[in-house]
Amino acid sequence: MILIVIIIILYVLFENINKKNANISKLNRKLEDLNENEQEKEKQIKKYQLKEKIRKLKKEIRKIEKEMVKALLITHEHIDHVRGLKTFTRQYHVPIFATSGTLSHIPGGGMFSKYMQSITESIPIGNVMVHPFPILHDAVDPCGFRITGSYSCTIATDLGVVTDTVQNAIEDSDVLILEANHDMDMLRKGRYPWSLKRRILSNRGHLANSEAGWALTRMNHPPHKVLLAHLSEENNSPDLAEKTIKDILASRGMILDIETCQPEGGAEIIL
């Protein structure tokens, strides 16, 4: 009799254990489902945030009165610089200025060739003068621009090295838009293939944070404002770029007003 009771008790215990295990399995499945749902929600939220950024950017672009846009300056023909040309020319019927080599290599350029004008020397556009200067980059005929009016602004991005020509061009600017593309250590240790790393690090690639910093220390007449541009999302960050450059300037006893251009924000400069 005692044996039968023990067997019954053990049976009941095992049944309870099995039920608990089954409940635990169900709970685990529910947790997994919840986790998957949370991940899906995060994806949807990020997608929505991106759409909102694009919507706001388009709204800001529409605010620009057409009569304010006098011309478009293009430094080189790489797709990240000319992708929106078709849309731009539909809205703004203004001249597109670039070197002849750049103009002839813009993908699909024939669709808006009537707006294209080659720039080889200083030209007036509206109330300002535009002065192109050659830069080194892996493009056909790239250039930077110095724009002078009541004040002066120099644009020097997408360059692998600061040549003497570039160094002279950026002198005595009120505002300097200077490339600070990458941190060398981040780039070397990053996931890019070596062929791409080599291209970026070459003298026809992109300017590193430290190279931008040392270029600023060599200036006899530094700018009032420096905007760091063309930052790599993979191999740089705004805080790192600013810190690196400010530390280099501090080592030479220099302090400059430095800010990074955010990809979604851009910068508006009125001369």
- Residue 255: CA count within 13 A, CB half-sphere: 0
Please state, in angstroms and as integers, the Cα–Cα distance from residue 141 to each residue in 22, 114, 159, 226, 269, following that order.
Answer: 70, 20, 12, 25, 26
- Residue by residue, what is the 3-state secondary structure of the chain? CHHHHHHHHHHHHHHHHHHHHHHHHHHHHHHHHHHHHHHHHHHHHHHHHHHHHHHHHHHHHHHCCHHHCCCEECCCCCHHHHCCHHHHHHHCCCCEEECHHHHHCCCCHHHHHHHEEECCCCEEECCEEEEEEECCCCCCCCEEEEEECCCEEEEECCCCCCCHHHHHHHCCCCEEEEECCECHHHHHHCCCCHHHHHHHHCCCCCCEHHHHHHHHHCCCCCCCEEEEECCCCCCCCHHHHHHHHHHHHHCCCCCCCEEECCCCCCCCCCC
Largest CA distance in the chain: 111
Residue whose tokens read 């529910």: 30
For position 64, what pLDDT does the model report?
Answer: 67
Strand order in the sheet with 143-148: 123-125, 128-134, 143-148, 152-156, 175-179, 225-229, 258-260
Residue 13: the pLDDT is 47
Confidence (pLDDT) at 7: 47
Residue 11 neighbours by CB under 8 Å, 6+ apart: none
Q: What is the pLDDT of residue 109?
A: 84
Q: Encode the chain (271 residues) as per-residue pLDDT tens digits.
A: 554 544 444 444 455 655 656 666 776 776 676 677 777 767 778 777 887 877 777 777 666 667 788 899 999 999 989 988 888 888 888 999 999 999 999 988 888 889 999 999 999 998 999 999 999 999 999 999 999 999 999 999 999 999 999 999 999 999 999 999 999 999 999 999 999 999 999 999 999 999 999 999 999 999 999 999 999 999 999 999 999 999 999 999 999 999 998 755 555 555 5
The pLDDT of residue 56 is 77
What's residue 4's pLDDT?
52
Closest CA to 229 of 174, 175, 180: 180
pLDDT in the model for residue 60: 72
Q: Would you tell me how many other CB atoms lie within 10 Å of the CB of residue 118?
A: 13
Q: What pLDDT is attached to residue 261?
A: 86
d(CA 186, CA 101): 33
166/99 Cα distance (integer angstroms): 16
Q: Which residue has the tokens 């621009």?
A: 145
- Beta-strand pair 123-125/116-118: unpaired
